Amino acid sequence: MSNFGFGASDDDPDKKKDPDGSGNPAGFGFGGEGFDPAQLGQMLTQFGQMLSGMGAAGGTGSGPVNYDLAKQLARQQMGDFSPVSAGEREAVTDAAHLAELWLDGATTLPAGATKTVAWTPVDWLDNTIDTWKRLCDPVAEQISGMWTSGLPAEAQQMAGPMMGMLTQMGGMAFGSQLGQALGQLSKEVLTSTDIGLPLGPSGTAALLPSAIASFSEGLEQPDREVLVFLAAREAAHQRLYSHVPWLRQRVLATVEEYARGIRMDFSAIEEAAAGLDPSALTDPSKIEAILQQGAFEPQTTPEQKHALERLETLLALVEGWVETVVAAALGDRLPGAVALGETIR
């Protein structure tokens, strides 16, 4: 659970803090007394000039998150990797077949995957990005909407022509953070359900041979046993998510509920903006220093806390069921099953 980052992790796709400031220009706290329309125009103009060349670098992605940029940065972070060999593909297929056979005797749920495939990190990214969009869009939309609604009416009217650019820059900021997180995660995940969420296409079980080989290093277990064990966990997840039809929707919807609970403390933003020199918007280091004060971070709300508790409970139940079924299926057949279960835990 902590590895996925629904806690305090800086990589959490559901708790974006926008540390580079690209998505925050609408939240510099122009509200209440002392609002100066001329100052707002000057600040937005300088901010636009500073970022004017970034549109081309951000690709053609639109919406609350620039997924073109996210995928580009993720692929850069992956570095070089070998394509899946025919031998690796055959080994994955054989391990999955054996795992499914043994699982048949441990659960009444039938096989949920219609095919088992071997993925590279890029395959993982390409085949899970649609689910990441569903998880990340509500968070980005909520935060972006709060920045806009936080402006007084007069400021919103003046900033109207700039809103398109600000939305694009916010999408780039979220896309940059997401790309870095996915790039790192793609090199670590072992299966398509490694973090408990059903990220891949329905009915497709997937294992990542390169990550599994790295995971196996140092373990006192044969590589073949490690592969079968992980194939059994993947197959068990697929059975559960395929044959408990409400579960996939409920898990993903709970993440969306978490996003809807995000709130910003605009009084803290206004305090941070008091006396702000418009020229600071031309200096990225000064913007970063302002954002590090904490005023722009989403505040924890009761709604978020309750959604997070529900999500943790759901994922714990999923993991508990998978662990129990896999142990029953492999315990007497795979000598290292218990040790591998402890390692995964």
Q: What pLDDT score does 218 carry?
A: 83
The answer to whether residue 216 sits within a structural domain is yes
Among candidate residues 286, 284, 292, the one with its CA nearest the CA of residue 22: 284
Q: How far apart are CA 98 and CA 104, in angstroms?
A: 10
Residue 325's CB: how many other CB atoms inside 10 A? 21
The answer to whether residue 54 sits within a structural domain is no
Q: How far apart are CA 291 and CA 344, in angstroms?
A: 37
The answer to whether residue 14 sits within a structural domain is no
Q: Tell me, what DSSP letter sits at residue 109?
A: S
Beta bridge partners, 283, equal none
The answer to whether residue 193 sits within a structural domain is yes
Residue span of the structural domain in which 331 resides: 87-261+322-345
Cβ neighbourhood burial of 79 (10 Å; 0-12, 13-18, 19+): exposed
Total domain count, the chain: 1
pTM: 0.72
Q: Which residue has the tokens 């997937």?
A: 206
Q: What pLDDT score does 265 carry?
A: 62
Q: What pLDDT score does 269 carry?
A: 56
The structure tokens listed for 241 are 């998510």
Q: How far apart are CA 222 and CA 334, in angstroms?
A: 10
Q: How far apart are CA 210 and CA 169, in angstroms?
A: 35
The answer to whether residue 103 sits within a structural domain is yes
3-state class of 52 per DSSP? coil
The answer to whether residue 248 sits within a structural domain is yes
Beta bridge partners, 205, equal 116
Residues 233/344, Cβ–Cβ less than 8 Å = yes
List all residues 6 or more positions away from 317 whose beta carbon is below 8 Å from its beta carbon.
none
Q: How far apart are CA 156 and CA 337, in angstroms?
A: 60
The answer to whether residue 327 sits within a structural domain is yes
List all residues 6 or more positions away from 38 whose beta carbon is below 8 Å from its beta carbon.
none
List all residues 6 or more positions away from 127 whose beta carbon is below 8 Å from its beta carbon.
119, 192, 200, 201, 204, 206
Residues 207/97, Cβ–Cβ less than 8 Å = no
The answer to whether residue 304 sits within a structural domain is no
Angle at alpha carbon of residue 181, lines to 179 and 184, rounded to 5°: 105
Q: Which helix (H) or strand (E) holds 118?
A: strand 115-118
Could you list the pLDDT tens digit for every one of the 345 residues in the chain? 333 333 334 444 444 444 444 444 333 333 444 445 555 555 555 444 444 434 444 444 567 889 999 999 999 999 888 899 999 999 999 999 999 999 999 999 999 999 999 999 999 999 999 999 988 888 888 777 666 665 566 655 665 556 666 667 777 888 888 999 999 999 999 999 998 888 999 999 999 999 999 999 989 899 999 999 999 999 999 999 999 989 999 998 888 888 777 766 656 555 655 555 555 555 556 555 655 555 556 667 888 889 899 999 999 999 999 999 999 999 889 999 999 999 998
Q: What pLDDT score does 244 carry?
A: 94
